[in-house]
Structures are given as C-alpha cells and as structure tokens.
C-alpha cells in the first residue's frame, strides 16, 4: 500500500470512492494492471456486505435455523427436539466478532499487499474537475469510479419520524429481544429478517403493498407466504400504509386492506422497504452525472456515467443490488477506465438467492419477463414432493419452476424454492450460460437424492409425468 510520498506529484491514474466490495474490486484490478490508485474510504472499510448486510444477517439467520431445526425434529417419527434463545446479547456478540474478523482479514489486511493502492481515510469525498476532493485536499486522477453503496430507505408514511422504528442495520444491533415487530416491505431483506426474528421467538407481522418477493414467480410468492404463515407469521399483503404514530412506548401502523382500516401495534416498525443509493454530497449534479428517479447513478454497459471518465459500480448504481455483482461491475469499470478494456456488463445468467427457509434462488427470466421479451413461453412447475431428496428429508416445502422457449426448447430461466436451493441454483445458471435446452438438461446425469436433481426432474416435467418414473429411471 502506497502513501502519498510515493506517488509523483500526488497524482493517480484512478481514484475510487468507497472501500466496500466494489471499491476494493476496482482498486485491486487497476493495481494489478500496474496503475496508481487512490482508494478513498467514504465510509467504514468493508462497506455494506461485511459490516451491516450479508455477513451479519446470514449468520443470525443460520442461528435462527438451528432453533427451528430442533423444533421441527418431530417430522421424523420417534424424534422430538426443543431449542430457545437463552442469551440474545451473546448471539449479537458472536455476529459482531465475525464481522470484525472478516472486515480485518478480507479488507484492511489486504491493502499492504498492493503497492499501487493508497488508502485515504474514511471521510466524505466529492467529485470535482480533475479528480476528487477528500480530507480538504484535491486528489488528482483522470478517471474516477464511484462505489459508495447504499443504505436502508425510509418510506414516506405520515408520522414515521416519531415512531419507534428500526432498519436492517439497527435490528441486528438490538441489545434485547423485542416481543413484537411489524415489518414493512416484502422484498428479500424483509422476508429474510421477518422469518429470522420469528424463529427467535418474536411475534412478527409482515405488512406489504404487494405480494412477497414481487419480482419473482407468483407460485413462489404464494408458497413462501404459506410457509411463513405456518410458522406463525401474520402476513398482510396488498395493503396501503395509511399512517403511523407513537402510543406510549409502542409503534402503531395504520393500514388499509380491501377497504378495511386497522391499527397494528408493536415494539418497533422494521423498515425494510428498499435501499437508497449513497450519493448525497458527491457533487454529481454539478459535474453532470445523471441519476434515475430513485437517485441511483445511471451507467452504460461499460459502467461509465453520463460524465466521461467517471464510472460507477455497485449499489450506488441502477444495476443489480448484489455484492458479487458489485464486485463484478467494479472490476469491469476498472478495466474499461484505465486498462484499455471494452467490456460490457452481462447479467443474463446471474444467479440470485433469498436466504429464507426454504431458500429461494433463481437465474434468467421469469415467465412474465420471457413473455414481455417476445418469447413463445412454456413452463414447468414441480413441487418438492416429487423430489426424492425432499421426501427423504421429510421436508417437501417448496417447488421448482423452469421457463423455456416453446419453439426452440431453449431454457430461459427458473427459480428453485427448496431448503438447499442456494447450492443448486448455480447448475441452472450454468445451463443458461451455455444455452442448454430443457431436453438436454432433462437427459443430463444428476446424482440421486440431491436437491439439484430436482432441476432434471423439472426439465423432464415439460414432457412427462415424473411421478410415473422409478428412482433414477429418467
């Protein structure tokens, strides 16, 4: 890691604003190519994923799964289990230890290994002509990559400022386990955390304007809603938020559903209604960097903004909001900005995962997206009671849906709702990447008694009733 004294005239080939996954990816890529990089913190090193996002939430989701797994042992005849939260603060402390360890090992400790990278603090930064202003000085660089990430959004609901509320960050920092929570929003953050807190023993209500996971297949939304309701979560979907208020120490949310208005009460409202890009104070307007209606930076396929020489990647942009796609987009931006690259962002076979239980994972187009793209669509829906792995595990919650072109038989997309869906979806992504047909997927050899074998069975379901096959006969 360089200091300014090692950089001639204090100039750099590239300035990167933001030291999370995207920022590190961009800086490392450019440094490996022999470029001098200024990596400007603009927030806690490590960014959203390791500090307040993926890492802390997923370890606590796993803890909640351990509780649920013990309680669900009775699905096997002759077994009975029990588990409960005995020390919430210890669970949070374990999460914090993991976060601190990964932040140090996967971010801070990496910097000395890259001589071309100069790390410049964690204070605010601002785009200016000729580079970036940070810490009261000008960091000169002909090319800039903005990778400042995002933060939880606050919904526009009357009275929300005065109500006891949490977001996805502060929820995981509570020093005590609340009795009742109301989650607003039905995206992946809301459903993951609502199920996690319910399994920890909290009375949970989930109120949302649309269906659960509205961007995925409706069959999955319905199946997930049934699963969460079976676990005791109250789901009020299709509501409008009429207002909120404080009642003593409690939060009250007023909703309307089918013409009926009701008040919901809890210790806190948990605001999981989306995320807002971190663009405040960056000076985007002054330099002509365009943003969309959400405030996200608009980028082209090469990750360049409307301002020549200024690129952006990750959650601050209008691209996919996943940490691995942030790192991918940032690597692409660095190559295009300073290494002579001419690469284009490609998410056609991008896998995604929602860490509920069952997990929901998918890749490619949904049925609605495929129809909108002009395909003559055919679909296959296979419930998990047709998958031997699920039968052996006595856990048939979930389904697999595949989408294909009816004329060419080419696979277009799919979604897997299964306890091990996250570890199965990459097979689907690879099938899409290499243009497989449903028939070729259905004739591929898969190991027996695996969740991923369900993909083969779902592909065969386009043309046959797999219930009429003997084990492995397909």
Strands of the sheet containing 240-247, edge to edge, are 240-247, 250-257, 260-266
Residue ending a domain, among 273, 291, 326, is 273
In this structure, which long-range contacts are made by residues 98-103, counting pairs with CB atoms below 8 Å and at least 24 apart in sequence? 98/55, 98/56, 98/59, 99/50, 99/51, 99/55, 99/56, 102/46, 102/50, 102/55, 103/44, 103/45, 103/46, 103/50, 103/51
CB-based contact 158:148 (threshold 8 Å): no
Which pLDDT score, from 0 to 100, does residue 77 have?
A: 97
pTM for the whole structure: 0.94
The alpha carbon torsion through 138, 139, 141, 144 (nearest 10 deg) reads -100
Residue 359 lies in a domain: yes
Same domain? 247 vs 372:
no
Same domain? 25 vs 120:
yes
Residue 127 lies in a domain: yes
Residue 59 lies in a domain: no
Residue ending a domain, among 216, 243, 273, is 273
**Domain containing 200 — which CATH number?**
3.50.50.60
Residue 64: HSE in the Cβ half-sphere, 13 Å Cα cutoff: 25
Same domain? 296 vs 227:
no
**Domain containing 451 — which CATH number?**
3.30.390.30
Residue ending a domain, among 308, 338, 368, is 338
3-state class (DSSP) for residue 399: strand
**E strand or H helix at 368:** helix 367-372
Q: What are phi and psi of 246, to 5 degrees?
A: -95, 135
Same domain? 231 vs 250:
yes
Residue 66 lies in a domain: no
| Residues of the domain holding 11 | 4-46+107-152+276-338
- Count the neighbouring beta carbons within 10 Å of the beta carbon of residue 66: 11
Same domain? 302 vs 395:
no
Q: What are phi and psi of 152, to 5 degrees?
A: -60, 140
3-state class (DSSP) for residue 27: helix
Residue 245 lies in a domain: yes
Same domain? 206 vs 292:
no
CA distances from 451 to 140, 386, 418, 455 (A): 53, 11, 8, 8
Which pLDDT score, from 0 to 100, does residue 150 have?
A: 96
How deeply is 211 buried, as exposed, middle or buried, from its count of CB atoms within 10 A (0-12, 13-18, 19+)? middle
Quick: pLDDT tens for 87-138: 999 999 999 999 999 999 999 999 999 999 999 987 789 999 999 999 888 9
Which pLDDT score, from 0 to 100, does residue 3 have?
A: 46
177: CB partners within 8 A, 6+ apart = 85, 88, 200, 201, 202
Which pLDDT score, from 0 to 100, does residue 320 have?
A: 96
Mark the ranges of the chain whose per-residue pLDDT is less than 70. 1-10, 470, 472-474
Residue 73 lies in a domain: no
Which pLDDT score, from 0 to 100, does residue 467 have?
A: 79
Same domain? 238 vs 326:
no
Same domain? 8 vs 142:
yes
Which pLDDT score, from 0 to 100, does residue 474 have?
A: 65
Number of domains in the chain: 3
Same domain? 280 vs 266:
no
The sign one gets for the Cα dihedral 256, 261, 262, 263 is: positive
Complete DSSP assignment for 225-294:
HHHHHHTT-EEE-S-EEEEEEEETTEEEEEEEETTEEEEEEESEEEE-S-EEE--TTS-HHHHT--B-TT
d(CA 450, CA 452): 5
Same domain? 303 vs 356:
no
Same domain? 289 vs 144:
yes
Same domain? 269 vs 282:
no
């Amino acid at each position: 890691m360089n200091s300014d004294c090692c950089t001639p005239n204090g100039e750099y080939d590239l300035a990167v604003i933001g030291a999370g996954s995207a920022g590190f990816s961009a800086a490392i890529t450019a440094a490996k190519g022999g470029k001098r990089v200024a990596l400007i913190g603009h927030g806690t090193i490590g960014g959203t994923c390791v500090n307040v996002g993926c890492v802390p939430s997923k370890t606590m989701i796993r803890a909640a799964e351990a509780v649920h797994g013990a309680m669900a042992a009775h699905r096997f005849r002759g077994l009975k289990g029990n588990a409960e939260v005995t020390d919430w603060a210890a669970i949070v402390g374990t999460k914090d230890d993991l976060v601190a360890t990964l932040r140090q090992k996967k971010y801070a400790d990496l910097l000395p290994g890259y001589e071309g990278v100069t790390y410049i603090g964690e204070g605010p930064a601002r785009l200016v002509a000729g580079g970036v202003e940070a810490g009261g000085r000008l960091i000169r660089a002909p090319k800039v990559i903005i990778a400042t990430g995002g933060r939880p959004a606050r919904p526009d609901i009357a009275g929300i400022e005065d109500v006891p509320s949490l977001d996805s960050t502060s929820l995981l920092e509570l020093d005590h386990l609340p009795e009742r929570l109301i989650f607003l929003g039905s995206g992946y953050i809301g459903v993951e955390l609502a199920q996690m807190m319910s399994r920890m023993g909290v009375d949970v209500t989930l109120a949302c304007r649309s269906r659960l996971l509205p961007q995925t297949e409706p069959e999955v939304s319905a199946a997930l809603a049934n699963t969460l309701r079976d676990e005791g979560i109250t789901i009020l979907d299709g509501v409008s938020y009429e207002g909120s208020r404080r009642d003593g120490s409690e939060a009250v949310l007023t909703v309307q559903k089918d013409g009926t208005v009701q008040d919901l009460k809890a210790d806190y409202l948990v605001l999981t209604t989306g995320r807002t890009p971190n663009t405040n104070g960056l000076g985007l307007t002054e330099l002509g960097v365009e943003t969309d209606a959400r405030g996200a930076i608009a980028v082209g396929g090469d990750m360049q903004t409307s301002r020549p020489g200024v690129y952006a990647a990750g959650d601050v942009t209008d691209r996919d909001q996943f940490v691995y796609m942030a790192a991918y987009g940032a690597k692409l931006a660095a190559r295009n900005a300073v290494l002579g690259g001419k690469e284009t962002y490609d998410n056609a076979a991008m896998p995604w995962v929602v860490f509920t239980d069952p997990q929901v994972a998918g890749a490619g187009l949904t049925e609605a997206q495929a129809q909108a793209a002009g395909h003559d669509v055919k679909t296959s829906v296979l419930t998990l009671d047709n998958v031997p792995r699920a039968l052996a595990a006595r856990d048939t919650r979930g389904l697999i849906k595949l989408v294909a072109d009816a004329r060419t038989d080419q696979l277009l997309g799919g979604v897997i709702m299964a306890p091990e869906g996250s570890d199965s979806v990459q097979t689907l992504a690879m099938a899409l990447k290499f243009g497989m047909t449903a028939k070729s997927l259905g004739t591929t050899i898969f190991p027996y008694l695996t969740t991923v074998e369900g993909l083969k069975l779902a592909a065969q379901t386009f043309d046959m009733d797999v219930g009429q096959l003997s084990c492995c006969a397909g």
